[in-house]
Amino acid sequence: NAGVMQNPRHLVRRRGQEARLRCSPMKGHSHVYWYRQLPEEGLKFMVYLQKENIIDESGMPKERFSAEFPKEGPSILRIQQVVRGDSAAYFCASSPAGEIFRFGGYTFGSGTRLTVV
Amino acid sequence: SQQGEEDPQALSIQEGENATMNCSYKTSINNLQWYRQNSGRGLVHLILIRSNEREKHSGRLRVTLDTSKKSSSLLITASRAADTASYFCATDAGTGFQKLVFGTGTRLLVSP
Compare all CA atoms of chain B with the CA of A35 and give the residue at the minimum distance: B100
Asked if A39 has any chain B CB less than 8 Å from its own CB, the reply is: no
Per-residue pLDDT band at A32 (split at 50, 70, 90):
very high
Query: What is the Cα gyration radius of chain A?
Result: 14
Contact A55 B98 (CB under 8 A): yes
What are the backbone dihedrals phi and psi of residue A86, each rounded to the nearest 5 degrees, phi first? -80, -10
Q: Is the pLDDT of residue A99 over 80?
A: no
Q: Which pLDDT does position B96 carry in this prediction? A: 58
Least Cα distance to A20 among A103, A104, A90 occurs for A90
Contact A45 B99 (CB under 8 A): yes
DSSP states of B49-86: EETT--EEEETTEEEEEETTTTEEEEEE-S--GGG-EE
Spell out which residues of chain B touch residue A111, defining contact as CB-CB under 8 Å: 41-42
Q: Which pLDDT does position B2 carry in this prediction? A: 39
Contact A100 B98 (CB under 8 A): yes
The C-alpha atoms of residue A54 and residue A71 are separated, in whole angstroms, by 12
The C-alpha atoms of residue B17 and residue B26 are separated, in whole angstroms, by 30
The C-alpha atoms of residue B93 and residue B109 are separated, in whole angstroms, by 29
Helices (H), chain A: 100-103
Contact B42 A91 (CB under 8 A): yes
Tens digits of residue pLDDT in B37-70? 998 888 999 999 989 999 999 999 999 999 999 9
Spell out which residues of chain A touch residue B98, defining contact as CB-CB under 8 Å: 31, 33, 48, 55-56, 95, 100
Per-residue pLDDT band at B109 (split at 50, 70, 90):
very high
Range with the poorest average pLDDT among A11-15, A25-29, A96-100: A96-100
Q: Which pLDDT does position B4 carry in this prediction? A: 66
Comparing CB atoms, the residue among B43, B97, B101 nearest residue A45 is B101
The C-alpha atoms of residue A57 and residue B53 are separated, in whole angstroms, by 30
Residues of B with a Cβ under 8 Å from any A Cβ are 2, 4, 30-31, 33, 35, 40-48, 50, 88, 90, 92, 97-105
The C-alpha atoms of residue B22 and residue A30 are separated, in whole angstroms, by 33
